[in-house]
Structure 1
Amino acid sequence: MRMGTRGSRLAMAQARWVAARIAAGGRTSEPEPVVIRTRGDADSRPLFAIDQKGIF
């Protein structure tokens, strides 16, 4: 099983928590977190300063 997540420390911690809960439920294979990056992740400007659609 693959599960998508952002690459931030918080998102990775949450993904590990969810993966542990899934594994505890009896799955035979351990969930694999896959980092998903978007244009919004690469841009450090505040949201109000970004004048384009599709950043998420």
Structure 2
Amino acid sequence: MVGIGAESAGQFCDRTSTALAAALGTEPTAFPGGHIAFADDPGAFLPRLRAVLHER
């Protein structure tokens, strides 16, 4: 799984993560916040992470 912060659209980290996901033959997974949302807003990030991991 390749995760991308929703607020990082168009930034370097978004472009490289999108390219990595394409090379792996998968779609990137969107998470709330920016590139380091896990640290900046763990209250929003954690529920999404749990949901994504539960799906897999």
With the length of structure 2 as denominator, give the TM-score of the two structures: 0.32
- The structure whose Rg is larger is 1
